[in-house]
């Protein structure tokens, strides 16, 4: 399966390979940038890597390290063209490097290629589990935790990590003895601070700790990839609920052309240019895709980008007197412009309010009330997967309602095939009903959609341990 780097950074597969001691081939590419890298792993260690980039060729790396001169590099390349020999062979043959030095240089090249993948912000990658075919002389056995520590220092784009972790609470795990010597005192201090703040979200922790953003995220990602920090379930606070509700409403109105420029920015038609500017800047700050942290794989970011684009159009029109005049006299102004919303509540709005109330009931363990409110909400608006999911979750908590829960969670999964959560909750439902195989299938499907769904991974591990413990059939075990 091919993974888009903007959505799933290459770093995530390093975490999985380390945790599960995997063997296989990792291919990383970017057609636009003409980049192709291949990394080969065996039992959780990096054995070899190749790259089509000139700067990652052996000769260029040796030049940058000062181990050969530019003149020697040019001379060796000419020899290669004539003899078709590999650069390593020529380096040893002409006594520029010893065999031991060549081995170390090739190992450095492999590490350089691997570490470079951590900073990639675009492209695709795929990992195939297999036993890679590598000549014995090219097996370097590089420990992944070394690459992770070095690679995380190269990460500068944290947008995908923020979306995934900002509203989750980090939980620290014991530091294995093998990693103790790899971590600096600065890393340990950060680990201790995270331990002390584990009851709040990552976003809140960052606001409390006086650490530069780059350092904060590099260290957090490093500890996560080393499997000594994990994250709890996704959390949404009441303010974010309101913001997401408003975003959904604005997106729907813009798509149906039922809101004008003034209503979008909450302005009167007499607003001055400075008022338009202030409202626009306030709007973009609130609904900027980077500012709206939402559940992984949701369409919230896509909606936010659309709404921000329309707000920019409104700002461009209303801040220019000529364009504003044309807009006001044109077909856009079909009725008197007002910043006040209509008092009449539509069915989708009423359904949304019922959903928020049901969500509160669910958090208070008042499941019967949550079910009643969600059934009414779905009658008013049956287009929302989140409504079916909350109804299914509420029904899961009451054994006699579980057959209905299965149908509603399946409906949510069908409506949002990009969302792993309905499948994860289906797995939980099957597990509660001792349907182990069905539970495992659901958890694995959730991981196919979101490979870093921590809870689904944990449940699969739990099921695997459970199946191993089950004794094989034996006549002697029968009473």
**CB 367: neighbour CB atoms within 10 A?**
18
Query: Could you tell me which of 446, 471, 476 has the C-alpha nearest to residue 460?
Result: 446
Beta bridge partners of 127: 26
Q: How far is C-alpha 142 from the chain's CA centre?
A: 26
Look at the chain and count its residues: 479
pLDDT given at position 465: 86
Cα–Cα dist 10/125, whole Å: 7
Are 221 and 11 in contact, with CB atoms under 8 Å apart? yes
Backbone Cα Rg of the chain? 28
pLDDT given at position 130: 92
180 has pLDDT over 50: yes
Mean pLDDT score, 178-191 = 87
pLDDT given at position 440: 94
Place of tokens 């034996």: 474
Give the CA dihedral 351, 352, 353, 357, nearest 10 degrees. 100
Homologous superfamily (CATH) for 238-325: DnaJ domain (1.10.287.110)
334 has pLDDT over 60: no
Place of tokens 């080393």: 226
Q: What's the mean pLDDT when you consider all of the chain?
A: 84
pLDDT given at position 79: 85
The residues, ordered by sequence, that sit 6+ positions from 379 with a Cβ below 8 Å of its Cβ are none
Mean pLDDT score, 338-365 = 74
The residues, ordered by sequence, that sit 6+ positions from 44 with a Cβ below 8 Å of its Cβ are 17, 18, 20, 21, 22, 144
Mean pLDDT score, 412-424 = 88
438 has pLDDT over 90: yes
Q: Select the more confidently predicted residue: 49 or 96.
A: 49
475 has pLDDT over 50: no
Exposed e or buried b per residue across 207-232, where buried means at least 16 C-beta atoms within 10 angstroms of its C-beta: eeeebeeeebbbbbbbbbbbbbbbbe
pLDDT tens for each residue of 146-174: 999 999 999 999 988 888 888 788 888 88
Q: Select the more confidently predicted residue: 215 or 420.
A: 215
pLDDT band, very low/low/confident/very high, at 14 (cuts 50, 70, 90):
very high
123 has pLDDT over 60: yes
**CB 58: neighbour CB atoms within 10 A?**
20
| Highest mean pLDDT out of 111-125, 128-142, 343-357 | 111-125
pLDDT given at position 147: 95
pLDDT tens for each residue of 239-265: 556 677 788 788 888 887 788 888 888
The residues, ordered by sequence, that sit 6+ positions from 4 with a Cβ below 8 Å of its Cβ are 124
Q: Select the more confidently predicted residue: 268 or 114.
A: 114
Percentage of the chain beyond pLDDT 70 is 88
pLDDT band, very low/low/confident/very high, at 281 (cuts 50, 70, 90):
confident
3-state secondary structure the chain: CCEECCCCCCHHHHHHHHHHCCCEEEEEEECCCCEEEEEEEECCEEEEEEECCHHHCHHHHHHHCCCCCHHHHHHHHHHHHHHCCCHHHHHHHCCCCCHHHHHHHHHHHHHHHHHHHHHCCCCEEEEEECCCCCCHHHCCCEEHHHHHHHHHCCCCCCHHHHHHHCCCCEEECCCCHHHHCCCCHHHHHHHHHHHHCCCCCHHHHHHHCCCCHHHHHHHHHHHHHCCCEEECCCCCCHHHHHHHHHHHHHHHHHHCCCCCHHHHHCCCCCCCHHHHHHHHHHHHHHHCCCCCCCCCCCCHHHHHHHHHHHHHHHHHHHCCHHHHHHHHHCCCCCCCCCCCCCCCCCHHHHHHHHHHHHHHHHHCCCHHHHHHHHHHHHHHCCCCHHHHHHHHHHHHCCHHHHHHHHHHHHHHHHHCCCCCHHHHHHHHHHHHCCCHHHHHHHHHHHHHHCCCCHHHHHHHHHHHHHHHHCCCCCHHHCC
Dihedral sign for Cα 457, 460, 466, 469, please: negative
Q: Select the more confidently predicted residue: 434 or 82.
A: 434
> CATH classification of 345-416, choosing from 1.25.40.10, 3.40.50.720, 2.60.40.10, 3.40.225.10?
1.25.40.10
pLDDT given at position 92: 80
pLDDT given at position 220: 96
Percentage of the chain beyond pLDDT 90 is 34
Supply 98's token pair: 């010893």
pLDDT tens for each residue of 305-324: 888 889 999 999 998 888 88
pLDDT given at position 342: 45
pLDDT given at position 477: 43
Q: In degrees rounded to 5, what are phi and psi of residue 394?
A: -65, -40
**CB 404: neighbour CB atoms within 10 A?**
17
Cα–Cα dist 384/327, whole Å: 34
Write down the domain spans for the chain: 3-143, 158-231, 238-325, 345-416, 428-479
pLDDT given at position 76: 83
Q: Select the more confidently predicted residue: 69 or 125.
A: 125
């Amino acid at each position: 399966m091919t993974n888009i780097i903007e959505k799933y950074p290459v770093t995530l597969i390093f975490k999985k390979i380390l945790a599960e001691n995997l063997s296989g081939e990792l291919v990383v590419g970017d057609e636009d940038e003409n980049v192709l890298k291949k990394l080969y792993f065996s039992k959780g260690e990096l054995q070899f890597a190749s790259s089509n980039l000139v700067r990652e060729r052996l000769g260029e790396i040796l030049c940058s390290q000062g181990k050969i001169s530019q003149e020697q590099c040019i001379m060796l390349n000419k020899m290669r063209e004539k003899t078709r020999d590999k650069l390593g062979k020529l380096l040893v043959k002409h006594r520029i490097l010893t065999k031991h030095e060549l081995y170390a240089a090739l190992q450095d090249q492999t590490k350089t290629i691997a570490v470079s993948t951590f900073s990639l912000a675009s492209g695709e990658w795929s990992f195939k589990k297999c036993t890679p075919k590598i000549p014995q002389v090219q097996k370097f056995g590089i420990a992944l935790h070394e690459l992770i520590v070095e690679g995380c220092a190269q990460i500068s784009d944290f947008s995908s990590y923020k979306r995934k972790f900002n509203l989750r609470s980090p939980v620290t795990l014991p530091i294995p003895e093998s990693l103790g010597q790899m971590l600096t005192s600065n890393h340990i201090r950060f680990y201790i601070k995270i331990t002390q703040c584990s009851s709040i979200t990552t976003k809140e922790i960052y606001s409390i700790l006086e650490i530069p953003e780059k350092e904060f995220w590099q260290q957090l990602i490093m500890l996560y990839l080393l499997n000594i920090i994990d994250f709890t379930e996704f959390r949404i606070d009441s303010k974010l609920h309101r913001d997401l509700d408003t975003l959904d409403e604005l997106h729907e109105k813009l798509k149906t052309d039922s809101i004008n420029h003034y209503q979008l920015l909450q302005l009167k038609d007499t607003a001055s240019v400075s008022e338009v500017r202030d409202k626009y800047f306030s709007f973009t700050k609130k609904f900027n895709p980077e500012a709206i942290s939402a559940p992984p794989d949701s369409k919230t970011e896509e909606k936010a980008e659309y709404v921000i684009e329309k707000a920019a159009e409104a700002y461009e029109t209303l801040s220019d007197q000529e364009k504003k005049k044309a807009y006001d006299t044109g077909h856009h102004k079909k009725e008197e412009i007002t910043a006040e919303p209509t008092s009449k509540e539509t069915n989708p709005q009423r359904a949304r309010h019922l959903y928020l109330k049901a969500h509160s009931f669910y958090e208070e363990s008042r499941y019967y009330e949550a079910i009643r409110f969600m059934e009414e909400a779905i009658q008013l608006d049956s287009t929302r997967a989140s409504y079916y999911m909350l109804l299914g979750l509420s029904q899961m908590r009451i054994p006699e309602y579980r057959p209905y829960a299965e149908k509603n969670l399946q409906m949510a999964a069908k409506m949002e095939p990009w969302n792993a959560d309905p499948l994860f909750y289906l797995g939980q439902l099957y597990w509660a009903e001792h349907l182990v195989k069905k539970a495992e299938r659901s958890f694995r499907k959730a991981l196919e959609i979101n490979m870093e769904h921590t809870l689904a991974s944990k449940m699969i591990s739990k099921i695997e341990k459970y199946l191993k413990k089950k004794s094989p059939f034996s006549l002697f075990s029968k009473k």
